[in-house]
Structure 1
């Protein structure tokens, strides 16, 4: 059943009342109660397959959107220290563990946090440490899982072997250790990130804090001499008692958005720009779309996407949309006189599900950071190279693949006592090619080194960001209402947004045999089944 059919059949007095209370609570600063007989999220039992409990929950009162301190100078990201002294070798330890931090005055919050060995876990951003490496480096990360759940580390966007990519088939049990090892090939310089990827637990582990940035640098980077700033955007929901509440029904339907959008772990920090800068932007939110703007008078240039630099800069921009999982590089100008601006997430309608029919209204614009321009005396505008690097088209495809996003709602199943698992509503399905994810099933099969044209079609009523593991791809065209619109510029990406009733066509090639994942990067939808397995032979 489609969302439209589901909503049309769901307007009984009880359900209308329940949905109305939930939506009103969300807009009034309260989270929605779970549906009757919904199970809790996986608990702190320390077992790999904890039995779900069936329990009715009460509404959770959320902390005020202004409860966190704001306006501090933008914090630098922590860096993961290299334990190796060998040239071209990066060896480090990452520990995933619960850490108590005080973010609301006088109230502890337990985050799940990535930490280096022997690092300070209670000061600085709780964002995972920055992994800063170079093309050609061999990377060896010892992962220690001190969580109460199995987990993995997925190296989002990096061309790593399938058995090193943290796929859900290769989970690391609580208390266990796993070593990830891979070598970064030439041409892989770019802005990436890492996060967990255990099936049905990815959303929770990320919204509790597990995510961190990666930068891969090139020896011939034409922007290497520019001042660089890193802005890692994440979403946080806090209850008034400082706890991180579980997902409610609306979160599973639409993807979770917290009342706080953080930049390097802080609310609305202050950024001072004294000269032209290169900014790396990460959208590490579970479901929030970020339509960045510095205002109509502050133009910037986009110089990079997920997989590194563009061939030519896109100058004169006033806004840039990043879907969940996407990254970008931009050049921000200091100008020739002091001024102020606000880095803002402008209104974007991603068509979140409403309680009765149609969609919820889009969220209002949100201030992300205050930007103070204080240009150095006598400084002149720095020229961006006209050509940043060469990007070659992948060429004519030898095979074609089709990926179709769809959704289904079964109200009877959603209300059946004990029918839920791991806190997820039974009967709510987000699918690829008509089926939810099955770890025993191969969805698509590709051959190594063959160029393929993939068509990703969205037959749902909301936006979905498509992510493919193990490689970067090139967007070729978008089709809406039968009209094909060529992509205006060539770029390397691993995530692309697909709007309702849209088909996005991408060219891609996989170079290593094994099994890869592809999925919607709204993490709740991924956990509910909008994921497939690609077998590369």
Structure 2
């Protein structure tokens, strides 16, 4: 059955996804245990529904407050080069709506987003995780080169009420912008959209941009019912990935960023949405791209007027104040990613306002040139093995029951099945082919990769930018080729990072031997 026809004539149940923003208040509330996806019982606040409940209007959350800085996780270690701390995942009640009941979120250390971890490359990280949720959970260190047994895989869940210590040493040359979130199979989507996600920065010993004032921008969304409760997924959320009516920055609705008087800032940007892609523009200003998921580029890319980011992607950019000064909005423009069903038309969203009025024209004239070289990136060498991943969808009305699956190589995820075997330290070429009707962002655990080329309708386009990434978008009908190396033995996950799709089966496993 054709996908569009299926959507127009049916409803179906799967599971759930995105996440949120920064602490408004504190306190704990109880929560009922939720069922696994695919079973008859569905998540309270996470069940798919054919008819969407009434949502709170966008104006229900106040806008215009000064942009909040991220809370930092305190290092309790007295040892040099060791970062030691505790992360506790627990329910928390936050007063979000201006005129309504508190909303129950799940958060790390009562903070939304989760507290920022800052370490240096070469440091040892030791995090005690306390699971005060009514569900099993893990912490996945998204993008970080950590051993599989420390990476929060779904095989290594911490039970409700349990705890464990994650311990790993970060190698040199891994400086970059990362994040952490849960990864228990069947529960990931709900835990993330309820608030469980945090930020992680690995700093370089020699950072050529360290003198530039740094800004942290975490983009997320939130879907709230009119009663203040986190809203259930509807059919469109399950199909397209959940997008909340509130687009937030550092957990705030359209905050005000007062630009540094020096006229230049370094922005680290996290797209922490479950499904919303970002197409960022800042009228009158241009962006200089200096970093991707895995850290700095070899050379800056100047003169960009927009930034396109898939879900879970990160970037580092340099922003120089425009000559006109004043106040302008940072806008995300519509992105065509193949949504289906009865969805509202896409519209531009102003995410935050940027006030440049403190910057004097003479400061702009005195801005120094950026370094021409930021770091050395070597292309990965000769390929020793190849892998092919095909994303697809399967829809059925067999027996009068409407069902839908998101598949990898024609199969639904099975935690007991190993899909590929790789050898440690060997360069591999992976082909990610999108045989579905919508975009899917590909992610693999434990390593960064280099995009080599893209192919659409037989036309091959070499990737113009040599960079380290752990996220890459694949458009409908497109094949993306990447090179990667795994440096640790053990089991790794790869999947679509739209969490509804991951929960519905678009995930696989590779065993590194």
Query: So what's the TM-score if we normalise by structure 2?
Result: 0.91
Deviation at 1:78, TM superposition (A): 0.5
Q: Separation in 2 of the partners of 1:175 and 1:101?
A: 22
Most deviating of 492-501 and 99-108: 99-108
Deviation at 1:39, TM superposition (A): 8.5
Partner residue in 2 for 1:368: 351
SS in 2 for 1:85: coil
Does 2:251 match 1:258? no
Determine if contact 2:16/2:500 at 8 Å carries over to the other structure: no
Partner residue in 1 for 2:300: 313
Q: Separation in 2 of the partners of 1:217 and 1:159?
A: 14
Partner residue in 1 for 2:20: none
Does 2:282 match 1:285? no
Partner residue in 2 for 1:156: 142
Gaps of 5+ in 1: 20-34, 116-120, 417-425
Deviation at 1:87, TM superposition (A): 1.0
Deviation at 1:307, TM superposition (A): 0.1
SS in 1 for 2:106: strand
Determine if contact 1:136/1:183 at 8 Å carries over to the other structure: yes
Q: 2:178 aligns with which of 169, 174, 192?
A: 192
Partner residue in 2 for 1:7: 4
Does 2:457 match 1:481? yes
Q: Separation in 1 of the partners of 2:445 and 2:15?
A: 30
Does 2:385 match 1:399? yes
Deviation at 1:11, TM superposition (A): 5.7
Alignment of 1:87-236 (within 5 A): 87-105=80-98, 106-115=100-109, 121=110, 126-236=112-222
Q: Deviations over 1:195-246 (max 9, x none)?
A: 1111121111111111111110001110111100000111100111100022
Partner residue in 2 for 1:299: 286
Q: Separation in 2 of the partners of 1:483 and 1:215?
A: 37
Partner residue in 2 for 1:515: 491
Q: Separation in 1 of the partners of 2:409 and 2:167?
A: 33
Q: Deviations over 1:233-288 (max 9, x none)?
A: 11100111100022222111110000011100100010111220100000010000
Determine if contact 1:48/1:150 at 8 Å carries over to the other structure: no
Q: Separation in 1 of the partners of 2:266 and 2:14?
A: 46
1:10 to 1:469, Cα distance in 2 relative to 1, 3 A:
closer
Alignment of 1:328-477 (within 5 A): 328-355=315-342, 363-373=346-356, 374-376=358-360, 378-379=362-363, 380-412=366-398, 416=401, 427-477=403-453
Does 2:72 match 1:79? yes
SS in 1 for 2:411: coil
Q: Deviations over 1:320-351 (max 9, x none)?
A: 11100100000010244532221010111111
Determine if contact 1:39/1:53 at 8 Å carries over to the other structure: no
Q: Deviations over 1:391-439 (max 9, x none)?
A: 00001211111000000112246x64xxxxxxxxx72100000001000
Q: 1:494 aligns with which of 465, 470, 494?
A: 470
SS in 2 for 1:66: helix
Q: Deviations over 1:357-381 (max 9, x none)?
A: xxx5751111000011121474222
Q: Separation in 2 of the partners of 1:319 and 1:235?
A: 20
Determine if contact 2:138/2:184 at 8 Å carries over to the other structure: yes
1:507 to 1:97, Cα distance in 2 relative to 1, 3 A:
same
Q: Deviations over 1:67-91 (max 9, x none)?
A: 1000111000000110112110000
SS in 1 for 2:149: helix
Determine if contact 1:335/1:381 at 8 Å carries over to the other structure: no
Q: Separation in 2 of the partners of 1:306 and 1:483?
A: 27
Gaps of 5+ in 2: 18-29
Runs of 4 or more above 4 Å deviation: 9-12, 38-43, 46-52, 54-59
| Cα RMSD (Å) | 2.2
Determine if contact 1:190/1:216 at 8 Å carries over to the other structure: yes
Most deviating of 59-68 and 235-244: 59-68
1:377 to 1:239, Cα distance in 2 relative to 1, 3 A:
same
Q: Deviations over 1:435-494 (max 9, x none)?
A: 010000001110000001100000001000000100000000000110100001100000
SS in 2 for 1:518: strand
1:8 to 1:177, Cα distance in 2 relative to 1, 3 A:
same
Query: So what's the TM-score if we normalise by structure 1?
Result: 0.87
1:180 to 1:7, Cα distance in 2 relative to 1, 3 A:
same
Q: Separation in 2 of the partners of 1:151 and 1:135?
A: 27
SS in 2 for 1:454: strand
SS in 1 for 2:4: helix
SS in 2 for 1:349: coil
SS in 1 for 2:190: helix
Deviation at 1:382, TM superposition (A): 3.0
SS in 2 for 1:203: helix
